Amino acid sequence: MNDQALRDRIAKAVDAGFDQQVAFLADLTRIPSLRCQEAPAQDFMAAAMRERGLAVDRWKIEVDDIRHLPGFSPVAVSYEHAFNVVGTHRPRQRKGRSLILNGHIDVVPTGPLDMWAEHPFEPRVRDGWMVGRGAGDMKAGLAANLFALDALSRIGLAPAAEVYLQSVIEEECTGNGALACLARGYRADAAIIPEPMNDQMLSAQLGVMWFQVRVRGRPAHEAVAGSGANAIEACWPLIQALHRLEKQWNAQGHPAFAEHEHPVNFVVSRIQGGDWTSSVPAWCTFDMRIGIFPGMELSEVRAQVESTVAEAARHDPYLAEHPPAIVYHGFQAEAYVLPQGSRAQRALERCHAAVYGEALPQFASTGTTDARFFGLYEDIPSLVYGPQAENIHAFDERVNLESVRRVTQTIALFIADWCGLEDKQ
């Protein structure tokens, strides 16, 4: 798209709707779309899509529809209220390339409320930032997708190809929401995911695996604690052994993550155990999240985790006889490296440069995103690109509104460039 006057009109149309976009973002952030509680936020998204004349598909994810697919992650929760929403724009006459604009509606838990300066689900604007759980990760991105389309509509234009606006669940734990979109048949010539990328584009992401180690002990009265086997204390050497594996992987490294000193992180993130303060605990369970380099097979990763735990358990007299069990639910996500030089990437670079006046930087993320589904399993160029945010997954999460405005302009220009334009119906 070389028409400077048109670019200016589109950018100005984003500005004209920006107050409304910020209000929409606040309304969306106010809905606490924690895991298994996403349905009201999804209804809100579906209503916004319907208002704009998109054809809305809202459906409940059935595990049986996706469990056989590559990239599936097993779940331990009910999908009774697990709804995806996709709004489809169809052109009168297709002239350009189709596009998926994807975002996830789920947010991670807030942690202790007293660690937040303000309530996480009462979003406020402070010094040009919107504060609230999910404001950055990634409701600002969902709003940007929607308002980029609005900007075109405001000046009487519409994409001249199919655009699928996706609001998916489960990005923070399995990715099964994005996978369910593929299973339902949604495909396009490119995908954009406006995760909070600090005005950069993702060049690579690590894989992520969740697992749970279940340790048993021998209960005893604390007065004769020596006769028991403490399941909680027995976990510590297992955790240390897993951190040695983490160290080993980081020492091996990977060229796509050369900019990171410590790309692979093993995090003991939850622990439960014991029943009574005066009894030697008979059980303990801890959850771990680990990062995985590109090229590592998930089956091989599981084998390494299991042998590490088994080896450490052999040094414990009780665990040697009663080995811990390892179960997998949640992320079983492979790594993804963006193939460089696609037409979609070049288009995004052009549009970003037109808005920011500088080249689009790239960044390798040590976390995962839903890009892997489109990129790895469907060969759809999958561009993760989004606004500046701070404290995501922490307290006082916030997103920079000036950055959101510019990212929205970039996405609007990208739609025009990639899909082409026609007069609005």
Binding residues for Zn ion, rule: CB under 5 A, are 137-138, 195
CB of 241 to Zn ion, least distance (A): 31
On the 0-12 / 13-18 / 19+ scale of CB atoms within 10 A, 390 is: middle
Burial class (CB in 10 A: 0-12, 13-18, 19+), 297: exposed
**Kind and range of the H or E run holding 103:** strand 99-104
Q: End-to-end alpha-carbon separation of the chain, Å?
A: 22
Which residue is nearest to Zn ion, using beta carbons?
137
Three-class SS state of 86: strand
Beta carbon nearer to Zn ion, 14 or 197: 197
281 or 386: whose CB is closer to Zn ion? 386
Q: Which two tokens stand for residue 200?
A: 């950069």
CB 365 → Zn ion: shortest distance, Å? 10
Q: How far is the CB of 106 from Zn ion (least distance, A)?
A: 8
Tokens at residue 239, please? 């955790």
Q: Which is nearer to Zn ion, 210 or 249 (CB)?
A: 210
> Would you say 49 or 138 has its CB closer to Zn ion?
138
Instruction: CB nearer to Zn ion: give 150 or 172.
Output: 172
Return the number of the residue (42 or 285) whose C-beta is nearest Zn ion.
Answer: 42
- Rounded to the nearest whole angstrom, what is the least distance from the CB of residue 196 to Zn ion in the complex? 7
- State in angstroms the smallest separation of the CB of 237 from Zn ion: 34
Helix, strand, or coil (residue 218): strand
Q: Measured from the CB of residue 385, what is the shortest distance to Zn ion in angstroms?
A: 13
The neighbour count for residue 73, using CB atoms within 10 Å, is 21
Which neighbouring-strand residues pair with 158?
422
List all residues 6 or more positions away from 375 whose beta carbon is below 8 Å from its beta carbon: 336, 338, 339, 381, 382
172 or 422, CB closer to Zn ion? 172
Closest CB 154 distance from Zn ion, rounded Å:
28
Nearest to 73 by CA among 289, 312, 230, 307: 289
CA 159 – CA 167 distance, rounded (Å): 19
Longest dimension (CA), the chain: 83
